[in-house]
Structure 1
Amino acid sequence: MDVKLHLTVHEARRGTETFRVVRPARPPEHAALFDDAWWLNAHVDRDAALLIAGLWTLAAGSPRSLVHLPLRSPAPPAGSGRLDLVLLHHSLQLAPSRWKEVRGRLSPGRPRTVEVSLTEPAEEEYASPHHADNRDHFHQSVHAETLFMTGSATTFRLGAAAFLDVALNGPAHTDPHPDRAYGHSHYCASVRCDARWRDIHVAYREPPAPGEGPHR
């Protein structure tokens, strides 16, 4: 499945260093990322899930770029913290503590449209995290209200697959409780991390009907 990504590409310079930061031209309208007690919870509708799957796929093929996705909901659920998301290849060796500095130095940006192909990872990529000698894991941290996922091309492709799964299969599920204040169809997938970190629980959410409030 091919999707077009409308992006803005920024640069941040510091001395001899230059970082390229890629953002969606328009952040997804119905998407949010929450820092809950036990989980990292992503709530997405179909369009947002496809966009985010495309951005994870882009991160897999762009090891010299940081992919920044603004996701902070204006009204997170009680007890939850709201988060943005940054995906970066481990070869960049950028400490998350430097993110605020890099973000403050970004150029205005230039528009760019790219097409990426959303495909299922190969079987060996699904199997690799379960091998005892596998070192292909995410490194995860939260800094400045931003979740940093540092990994390899393989880990980003596996992450993209979770969002693609929700985009393709979530809309077919009906809400068993249509009278609830914020009805939604529960379909989910996970971006798997090793035991040191929390998985990202990706849950499908229908866009609110006109006049309804934001999703919870």
Structure 2
Amino acid sequence: MKLSVTIHRARLGPVEFKVIRPARPPVRAALVDRDRYLNAFLDQDAARLIGGLWTVAAASPRSLVHVPMRGNHAPAHGWPEAGTRQLDLVLLHHSLQFAPARWKELRARLGPGRPGTVTVPVPVPARSPAGGSPADDEARHHRENRDLFHQHLHAETLFMTGSAKVFRATADHFLDVARHGPGHAAAHPRNPHFCTRFHADAGILGDAREIHIEYCERWGPGG
């Protein structure tokens, strides 16, 4: 799978940061803060794109992967409740040690960037929810293990920080929605709901809330 991206570089003091964005940010995509957990609503193209960018994050430990989407329209069925807050998404490797509090400043310094293309290998579906053997699953629950996601919210943006291993192991959540969501919706018009989630019991979440990922075929005006 090939993705068209835009590559930006900007400095904060003596440090230069590289930010990768999709050349065409997803339109039928929304990330919603529901307090106890997070909801991602995606059509097929958006799910495939974000799955690819998830893999880009695994292969680019010195970059921030930014997915703008907080200004998008809601799905046709609307939000689960009023007053829902929409978010952008940033994926980054824990070794980058970027402070989310500096994101607004860095974002303001990003220019038009330069176009590029990245080739993304399609991940093999994991054999277990955590992406490995039972021994691997047990190791993931160890409190010093780094192969866990951590989340921060700043400047209307969700930061997903993790290791290359955990990004690779979880990209298929989005690709599964892209592969099976449209067929499920067509076969079950009265109950088109198709979803997956980053579950608390899967051993992939450290300081992070669950993420419910839902396929949505119909979107509101402008979406």
TM-score by length of 2: 0.83
| Map 1:162-201 → 2, pairs under 5 A | 162-174=173-185, 185-192=192-199, 193-194=204-205, 196-201=207-212
Report if aligned partners of 1:57, 1:160 keep a CA contact under 8 Å in 2. Answer: yes
Report if aligned partners of 1:34, 1:40 keep a CA contact under 8 Å in 2. Answer: yes
1:161 to 160, 164, 172: 172
Question: What SS is found at the alignment partner of 2:159?
Answer: strand
Determine which structure has greater relative contact order: mean sequence separation of CA pairs < 8 Å that are 6+ residues apart, divided by chain length: 2
Q: Distance in 2 between matches of 1:73 and 1:13?
A: 26
1:26 to 24, 27, 41: 24
Q: Distance in 1 between matches of 2:72 and 2:206?
A: 30
Question: What SS is found at the alignment partner of 1:27?
Answer: coil
Report if aligned partners of 1:121, 1:157 keep a CA contact under 8 Å in 2. Answer: no
Aligned residues: 205
Q: Distance in 2 between matches of 1:13 and 1:68?
A: 16
Q: Report the Cα offset of residue 101 of structure 1.
A: 1.1
Question: Can you give the 5+ residue segments of structure 2 that lack an aligned partner in the other structure?
Answer: none
Q: Give CA-to-partner distance per residue, 1:86-115, whole Å, 9 cap, x none.
A: 001111101100101111121320000112
Partner of 1:7: 5
Report if aligned partners of 2:146, 2:162 keep a CA contact under 8 Å in 1. Answer: no
Report if aligned partners of 1:129, 1:136 keep a CA contact under 8 Å in 2. Answer: no
| Map 1:122-137 → 2, pairs under 5 A | 123=127, 126-127=131-132, 128-131=136-139, 132-133=141-142, 134-137=145-148
Partner letter of residue 185 of structure 1? Answer: P
Partner of 1:90: 94
Identity of aligned residues (%): 53
Q: Distance in 1 between matches of 2:34 and 2:179?
A: 26
Q: Report the Cα offset of residue 16 of structure 1.
A: 2.1
Partner of 1:44: 42
Question: What SS is found at the alignment partner of 2:115?
Answer: strand
Q: Give CA-to-partner distance per residue, 1:17-36, whole Å, 9 cap, x none.
A: 10000000111121110001
Question: Can you give the 5+ residue segments of structure 1 that lack an aligned partner in the other structure?
Answer: 179-183
Greater alpha carbon shift after TM alignment, 61-70 vs 120-129: 120-129
Report if aligned partners of 2:27, 2:72 keep a CA contact under 8 Å in 1. Answer: no
Q: Distance in 1 between matches of 2:123 and 2:104?
A: 33
Q: Give CA-to-partner distance per residue, 1:49-73, whole Å, 9 cap, x none.
A: 1000000000000001100000114
Change in Cα spacing, 1:156 to 1:173, as seen in structure 2 (3 Å) is: same
Output the aligned Cα RMSD: 2.2
Report if aligned partners of 1:36, 1:79 keep a CA contact under 8 Å in 2. Answer: no
Structure 1 residue 100 corresponds to structure 2 residue 104 = yes
Q: Which ranges of 4 or more aligned residues in structure 1 deviate by more than 6 Å?
A: none
Report if aligned partners of 1:7, 1:111 keep a CA contact under 8 Å in 2. Answer: yes
Partner of 1:213: 221
Change in Cα spacing, 1:116 to 1:80, as seen in structure 2 (3 Å) is: same
Partner letter of residue 195 of structure 2? Answer: C
